[in-house]
Amino acid sequence: MRSTTLHLTTGSDRITDVTDRCAAFAAEAGTDGLLNVFLPHATAGLALLETGAGSDTDLAGHLDTLLPRDDRWRHRHGSPGHGADHVLPALIAPSLTIPVDHGTLALGTWQSIVIVDTNLDNPDRRLRLSFLEG
């Protein structure tokens, strides 16, 4: 199994497309297998999402409805509403597994791999990519 860790800054971007970085890593293998994408953080997740057509903006907006940034959260350190950030990974998992065919991600036509990150307190992220040949 081959693995690498990417260092990213999400900043104020709640949705960060990492498809190209994942595709480049899978292409290095040039064979069939599985790509595991893992985000080792307690306040962010990964999703397959159509980007650029409004779905990313819709998701970000609806996360505000589902996880309001107010004082209802018991987890209270950090910026107001930061407790919501810690609930996010229960709704949007921190890992994905993508089939790879001859070094190409087997994604649907409009699917992109994105980091979903509502935590403005910590924009520094690590993304671990692991390729299992098969």
Task: Residue 111: give its domain's CATH number.
Answer: 2.60.120.460
Is the separation of the CB atoms in 45 and 89 below 8 Å?
A: yes
Domain ranges, residue 91: 2-133
pLDDT of residue 36: 98
How far is 87 from 44, CA to CA, in rounded Å? 9
pLDDT of residue 80: 81
Residue with token string 């098969």: 134
pLDDT of residue 121: 87
Structural domains counted in the chain: 1
What would the pLDDT profile of 30-69 be if each residue is shown by its tens digit?
999 999 999 999 999 999 999 989 999 999 989 989 999 8
How far is 109 from 40, CA to CA, in rounded Å? 28
How far is 82 from 86, CA to CA, in rounded Å? 7
Q: Kindly tell me if the per-residue pLDDT of 102 is higher than 90.
A: yes
